[in-house]
């Protein structure tokens, strides 16, 4: 499954032509109890290590002739399908021809690298990876707005909590705004 974050304000090309418009938001789903969410998140986080995820994304990028700028991943709680999954947000320098195929390739590569993820996918305890494409500059804007060191994003690319993941998605959706800068 692939999502694309489009900023709240239209993005203009240097020629003045609009290249991306805002989309309507989706109503939030009903959330399960906190204990169920915490257990599902812990289960998904234990399925793979950061190095395995790095290797899977690198492999998929080479297969699809894409260049990944930065990414962040976090375990996702039980979703609409009733199963948890790994949520992955990527900013590309050179995007793949098909984001769906790239997402499938990352999932297959992670299955080959992580025995825990393999068994969870095989027994249908988790859904495939959910990929979100971010516009160029999202990670840079997030670091500027929140005054974060780039090493923090590198260390927390695969994190048991969703704070950084959701913060970057929020920054990508709202876009650059000088009033967003934390003093």
Residue 42: its pLDDT value, please? Answer: 77
**How do the residues of the chain divide into helix, strand and coil, expressed in percent and rounded to 5?**
45, 20, 40
With beta carbons less than 8 A apart as the criterion, state whether 86 and 127 touch: no
Q: How many domains does the chain have?
A: 1
Give the C-alpha distances (Å, rounded to integers) separating 66 from 30, 62, 77, 83, 88: 36, 6, 29, 29, 16
128 domain residue, yes or no: yes
Which residue range forms the structural domain that includes residue 111?
2-20+34-177
Q: Tally Cβ neighbours within 10 Å of residue 61.
A: 22
29 domain residue, yes or no: no
What confidence tens digit (pLDDT) does each residue in 76-133 have? 876 656 788 899 999 999 999 999 999 999 999 999 999 999 999 999 888 999 999 9
27 domain residue, yes or no: no
119 domain residue, yes or no: yes
Residue 171: its pLDDT value, please? Answer: 85
93 domain residue, yes or no: yes
Of the pLDDT bands very low, low, confident and very high (cuts 50, 70, 90), residue 36 is low
183 domain residue, yes or no: no
């Amino acid at each position: 499954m692939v999502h694309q974050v489009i900023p709240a304000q239209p993005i203009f090309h240097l020629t003045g032509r609009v290249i991306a418009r805002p989309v309507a938001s989706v109503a939030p789903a009903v959330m399960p109890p906190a204990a169920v969410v915490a257990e599902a998140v812990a289960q998904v986080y234990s399925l793979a290590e950061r190095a395995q995820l790095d290797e899977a994304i690198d492999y998929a990028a080479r297969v699809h002739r894409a260049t990944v700028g930065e990414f962040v991943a976090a375990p996702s709680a039980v979703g609409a399908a009733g199963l948890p999954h790994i949520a992955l947000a990527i900013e590309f320098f050179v995007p793949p021809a098909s984001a769906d195929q790239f997402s499938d390739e990352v999932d297959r590569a992670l299955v080959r690298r992580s025995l825990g993820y393999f068994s969870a996918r095989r027994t249908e305890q988790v859904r495939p990876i959910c990929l979100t494409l971010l516009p160029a500059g999202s990670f840079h804007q997030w670091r500027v707005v929140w005054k974060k060191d780039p090493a923090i994003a590198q260390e927390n690319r695969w994190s048991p909590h969703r704070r950084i993941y959701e913060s970057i998605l929020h920054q990508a959706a709202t876009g650059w705004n000088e009033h967003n800068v934390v003093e």
